[in-house]
Structure 1
């Protein structure tokens, strides 16, 4: 399979991930052929993204009733490298690739228990105002949290 265009050097890219979260493939996530339904990768990316944002401390701001900003997904892409089946133990890896004024591009890697890459992905999250729907620039604290996650 060809290397996705958002990855410059695959071996180096794989080594850059620090944050990872376990998940087990549920029966309900498989299709009639017994392998993971292709829509589920995006659910796994979401779970990894939420865990990542919790870990670095951004969730408290976004989910506070008094918070001004909320995150929305602007785009999301997945490349399937290897089939996945019911009851497999996977790790969802998440890392910050690039920080914009009000957005962040995340990269994803999903590996199996043999440390084989099963899926890769990328997506951009934008922080917007709850009231206006317009982009909200990162606070100094939020930007620092995102930057610190890149330097581990």
Structure 2
């Protein structure tokens, strides 16, 4: 496996995950070669990220129109480790890597049923004001929720 620049010790990094969302690869998500299209893991990351934020209690507030803040994706990347095919059941793991003033760096891991990794990812989310578009700092309570397992 080639070195992924945000992972220093893969097994230690992998063992830090606890939250995951299962997804089944749909036929429409495969390409003419029969494997998962390279854009689809980003959709899986979104699905798992939303479930993760729901579990933490954030999405319920962010989706309310009267709520002052919302999350935006600042950057997102994916590193492919193995091919994935139609009808495979995957676990998409999410964890907080680092919390900034108004951002959170999330890491992702996609695995097969046997636990073998297929892809990894990372991305920054920023909490912004709906009115101004400017970043809004996390409260201490929010930071604690993000770091809880």
**Aligned equivalent of 1:111:** 111
Deviation at 1:126, TM superposition (A): 0.3
Return the TM-score normalized by structure 2.
0.97
User: Post-superposition shift, 1:29?
Assistant: 0.2
Structure 1 gap segments, 5+ residues each: none
1:46-81, Cα deviation, whole Å (9 max, x unpaired): 001000000111112211222110000000010000
CA–CA separation in structure 1 for the residues paired with 2:54 and 2:60:
8
Query: C-alpha deviations, 1:80-138, integer Å up to 9, x for none?
Result: 00000000000000000000000000000000011100000000000000011000011
Q: Which residue of 1 aligns with 2:72?
A: 72
Indicate whether 1:60 and 2:87 are aligned.
no
Gapped regions of structure 2 (runs ≥ 5):
none
TM-score under structure 1 length normalisation: 0.96
- RMSD across aligned positions (CA): 0.8
Q: Structure 1 residue 21 and structure 2 residue 18: aligned?
A: no
**In the aligned structure 2, how far is the partner of 1:99 from the partner of 1:131?**
23
Does the residue aligned with 2:66 lie in a helix, a strand or coil?
A: coil
